[in-house]
Amino acid sequence: MHDSAFANFPLALLEATVARHVATGARIVAIEPRPIGAGLSGAAVRRYQVTLDGPEGRRAVRLVTKEASSAERRAVALLNGQGQPSVPFGHALDPDGEAPALLCLEDLGDEHRPSSLSPIPAEVFRREAAGLAAIHAANLGGTQDLGWLPRLGREAVAEAIERAFFRPAWERALAEPDFRRDFGAAIAPVERHAAAVADEMAALHAEDDAVTLVHTDINPSNVLLRGGRAYFVDWQDVHAGSLYVDLPHHFDTLARAEVYRVALAERGVAIPPGHFAKRYRIAARYTGLRYCWWALDAWREDRAMAPWVAHYLAMITG
C-alpha cells in the first residue's frame, strides 16, 4: 500500500514504534482506527489496529497515540529502559524536546482497575503493589540526576488543595444545608487538616530517603489490567517526590498499603511499620483532600454519591 493511503495517520511514529518494540523489519500494510474512550487527563488519544508483514508472516497489533509532555515522554523512555514490567512500551520521535509531541504506546485494552468502593480481589492489590514498588525502588535516590523531572514541594500541594481541587468544591458543598446536616461532624477536622497539609507534605517530600519518581495521579483511569498484571499509564503529572504520595488513592487503608510495604521490602527497601504508617497517614490526608472534589460536586447533583463523600472524608480524618 502506498504511503499516500496513510496520509491521515502518524506513519513515521507508528513505523518507529513497531521497529523498536514489536517486530524489527516488519512493514506496515494497513492502519485502521479503532474506538477508544477518553482519559481523565483530557489528552487526545487515538487507537489503531496496525497490520504488519514481516519475516514471520502477517500479524496485527494495536497501538495508541496521545499528545504527551516532555516529562511524560522522558518518563516512559526511562521506565522502558529500566525494563519496568508494569509500564507499557512507548516511543516518541522527539523524546527530549520541550514541546508537547505525540507518544505511541502499547495498547493494553480497556479493563481498568476497579474503584475503591467496588469489590477488589486481593490479587489485584498484589499485582499493583508489585508494579509500583518496582518503579519506586528502581528510582529511589536517583531523581537528582533527572534535570527534566520537577520536584514536588509545598507550592504544588497548596495549589492543588487551595486553588485547583479541594477548596472550591468544599466551599460549594458547605453552602448546601444537607451537607452540614449529613457530614457536619467532619467539617472541623477537615478544615484543620486542610490548613496543615501543605506543610506536612512539604516535609514529606523533603525526606530524601523516600524521594523517587512518582506518578502522582494514580486512579482507576490510569491503571489498566491485562494478562495478570497491572499497568500504570498516563504519566503526564510525573514528578520527583515522596513514594507515599502514590499509595493512598488505591491502597486506601493502612492494611491494604501493607501489601506495598512488603513488596518494597522484597526489592531491598525495608521501611519499619511504624515509620511507614506515620507517613502513609500524612499522604492519605493529602490524597483525600486532593481527590474529594469530584465526589463533593457529584453529591450536589445526586445524593446517592454520599458513600464516596464519606470515603474521602474518612481518608482525611481517619
Location of C-alpha cell 487515538: 46
* 297 and 160 fall within a common domain: yes
Q: Is residue 92 part of a domain?
A: yes
Confidence of residue 42 (pLDDT cuts 50, 70, 90): low
Last residue of a domain, one of 106, 135, 160: 106
Q: 199-219, pLDDT tens digit by residue? A: 999 999 999 999 999 999 999
Q: 148-205, pLDDT tens digit by residue? A: 999 999 999 999 999 999 999 999 999 999 999 999 999 999 999 999 999 999 999 9
Residue range(s) defining the domain that contains residue 300: 122-317
Last residue of a domain, one of 55, 73, 106: 106
Provide the residue type at 125 as one letter: F
* 44 and 183 fall within a common domain: no
Neighbours of 81 (CB within 10 A): 8
Closest CA to 106 of 74, 68, 80: 80
Supply the CATH number for residue 299's domain. 3.90.1200.10
Closest CA to 222 of 128, 312, 306, 289: 128
H or E stretch including 212? strand 211-214
Residue 3, phi then psi, degrees to nearest 5: -60, -25
* 82 and 132 fall within a common domain: no
Residue 36 · residue 50 · CB < 8 Å = no
* 246 and 158 fall within a common domain: yes
Q: Is residue 111 part of a domain?
A: no
Give the bridge partners for 66, in sequence order.
45, 103
* 18 and 88 fall within a common domain: yes
Residue 167: C-alpha distances to residues 164, 297, 317 (Å): 8, 12, 16
Closest CA to 254 of 224, 283, 212: 283
* 195 and 295 fall within a common domain: yes
* 275 and 171 fall within a common domain: yes
Structurally, how many domains does the chain consist of?
A: 2
* 187 and 291 fall within a common domain: yes
* 31 and 156 fall within a common domain: no
Closest CA to 113 of 153, 86, 81, 75: 86
Q: Is residue 237 part of a domain?
A: yes
